[in-house]
Amino acid sequence: MESLAARLGYSFKNPGLLKQALTHCSAGKVNNERLEFLGDAVLGLIISDLLYHKFPAASEGELSRVRAGLVQQSTLADIARTLRLGEHLILGSGELKTGGANRDSILADAMEALLSALYLDGGMQVCEERIGLWFSPLLNLLHQQEPPKDPKTTLQEYLQARKLALPAYAIVKIQGKDHEQEFSVQCSVVMLQEPVVGSGSSRKEAEQQAATEVLRKIRLQS
C-alpha cells in the first residue's frame, strides 16, 4: 500500500478506507459499492466545476456532453491503470480467475471508490487536487472556447459532409450482472469493409467507443 500511496500522492489517515475502496463486491460484504456511489457524485461535481470555468460560453448541453466523455468508464479505467490500481484490488476467486483486475468496469468502479475514500479521509480539496492532476492531460486537450463534439456526432457530420450513408449501430452482446452489465455494439459504415465493435457499461457508451474506433480507422486510411 505504501507504493500505491506514493503514486496517489496522498497518505491515508484511515488506511481502512483505502482497503475498502479496493475491495470488489465479489470479495465479501464489506466492499467498495457504497464508496462508488459517493465517489461518482464527487467526481461529477469537480469535473463539472472545472468545465464550467474552462468553457464560459458553453451551453448546458455542451458541458454535459464533455463531462460524460471525461467520466466515462474507459477514461476512469485508463487512469486506474496509470495508477496501477489493478495490482492492489481485492477480488473474489472467480474474478481473479477471469482477469477481473484488468476489466474496465471493475477498474472504473475502484477509481470512483478511491475518490470517495480520498474525500472522506482528506476532504474536497484533496479530491480537487488529485482529479485536477489525473485529468489534466485530457482537460488540456480541450479548447477554451469550443468544447469538442462527441465521437458519434463527429462521425455523423464527417459522413454527411461527404454525402455518404449514416452509420448503423447494433447491439451484438450484453454480458454481466444487472448492476454491472457490459454492452458490445457494432458500428457499420460504407467506408469500412468490416463493422467495428465498441464496449461500455451502457449502450450509449459502447456506441461512442465504436464511433471513436471507426474514426480512427478512417483516418488511417486517408
- Catalytic residues, by residue number, are 40, 112
Residues whose CB is less than 8 angstroms from the CB of residue 45 and which lie 6 or more positions away in sequence, other chains included: none
Work out the burial of residue 191: count CB atoms within 10 Å of its CB; fewer than 13 is exposed, 13-18 middle, 19 or more buried: middle
Phi, psi of 190 (to 5 degrees): -65, -20
Cβ atoms of 37 and 52 closer than 8 Å: no
b/e sequence 80-115, b meaning 16+ C-beta within 10 Å: beebebbebbbbeeebeeeebbebbbbbbbbbbbbb
Q: What angle, rounded to 10 degrees, do the helices at 124-134 and 33-54 form?
A: 70
AA letter at 114: L
Q: What kind and span of H or E run contains 174?
A: strand 168-175
From the CB of residue 180, how many other CB atoms can be counted at a distance below 10 Å? 16
Q: What kind and span of H or E run contains 119?
A: helix 104-122
How many residues make up the chain in this entry?
Answer: 222
